Copies of this chain bind each other. A is one copy, B any other.
Amino acid sequence: MSQSQIPVTVLGATGSVGQRFISLLDHHPWFKVVALAASDRSVGQKYSQVCRWLLNDPMPEYAREMVVVPASPDAMSAKIAFSAMPADLATDIEPQFAQAGFAVCSNASSYRRDEDVPLLLPEVNAEHIQLVRQQRVKRGWSGCIVTNPNCTSAGLTVALKALDDAFGVKKVFAVSLQALSGAGYPGVPSLDVIDNVIPNIGGEEDKVEWEPRKMLGKLMDGKIQLAEIGFSAHTNRVAVIDGHTVCVSVEFTKPTDPEAASQALSAYLAPTSARDLPSAPRPSIEVRSEADRPQPRLDRLTGKGMTTVVGRIRRDPLLHLKFVVLSHNTIRGAAGGSIYNAELLVNENLLR
């Protein structure tokens, strides 16, 4: 499989997450982008003409001359569709692609809560990918939909997984300081965030309080038992380009100390099936010992933006421990995560 290039497409290719897909898929060892899909007003034009490129790294050469096609399975021939569409469009269009045989690896929130749809962080719950088999039976699809979590849930859940395995997580307080790229483009007006904080992100807190429970849940008899963990989340937008910072306090079943927690986090290994994939974070988790790290500008690109960075592990006067988690929101928390999911599908022979 790895010799042959697997044809893939990006749906919603001109947006902020779409651009990240295009950047990360440049020179990917397994995948070859054969189509870029976007909204009607871009269709028929060259990608470089219609896309307002926002990333620090230049637009990859391969994408510049590609002619944008409609987001329709008939318009292209590919095996995997990476979806960076907004939720309202994703709700309608993703099933069309799954029906037509595409493996849809989606960032959208539309199907994350469906019982037969994997909500996937391969370094956390690779085995949940097996839900795809039931999904196909139940929905009569030859393709499938696999989702990755909300960008704030991603890093938080990776850190919690390592701690849950070792000490059992019971309760979690999480307060995020989220980056602007998470809101897309044009997204947050500059007048709203310079010399300012926006103490709310619509719908985000519900996601952060629920998604980790599915990802940390056990797959039993083809069903996921939601993890019995209580969550409380506050979400904030701050003047950071990329990288979500989360302040976390945790209560454990087996109380522990900062030293042991640090070791559990540092030693955490992804499940075997997800460990050696091209996009696997190396390492899954990096623990920093400085008093003032992680910081988004300095640490977001750890492990090419796929590694979850944890720091300031210390005792919590009310629960057991508190610490800070940092994760790159458009790489580990979005496009990079979807690509990692697709690699797992390939590795598990789940492509049709």
Q: Which residues does A use to contact B, with CB under 8 Å?
A: 16, 53-58, 171, 173, 175, 177, 180-181, 185-200, 202, 209, 230-232, 234, 236, 238-241, 245, 247, 249, 291-298, 300-302, 311-312, 316-319, 322, 324
Cα(A283)–Cα(B202), bound, Å: 29
- Contact B296 A195, beta carbon cutoff 8 Å: yes
Name the CB-closest residue of B to A209: B317
B189 touches A295 (CB 8 A): no
Quick one: copies of this chain in the complex? Answer: 4
Which of A181, A185, A239, A245 has most B Cβ within 10 Å?
A239
Q: Cβ of A181: which chain B residues have Cβ within 8 Å of it?
A: 191
Other A-B contacts than A197-B295, A230-B317, 16 sampled, CB-CB below 8 A, are A53-B298, A56-B297, A171-B318, A173-B318, A177-B236, A185-B189, A188-B190, A190-B190, A192-B295, A195-B240, A195-B297, A196-B297, A197-B238, A199-B295, A230-B318, A231-B317
Q: Is the CB of A199 within 8 A of B247?
A: yes
Q: Are A191 and B54 in contact (CB under 8 A)?
A: yes
Q: 27 pairs across A/B with beta carbons < 8 Å?
A: A56-B300, A173-B232, A177-B177, A177-B197, A177-B236, A186-B186, A186-B192, A189-B189, A190-B192, A190-B194, A190-B239, A191-B241, A194-B195, A194-B241, A195-B297, A197-B238, A197-B245, A197-B295, A197-B296, A198-B295, A199-B292, A199-B324, A209-B317, A231-B318, A232-B249, A232-B318, A238-B238
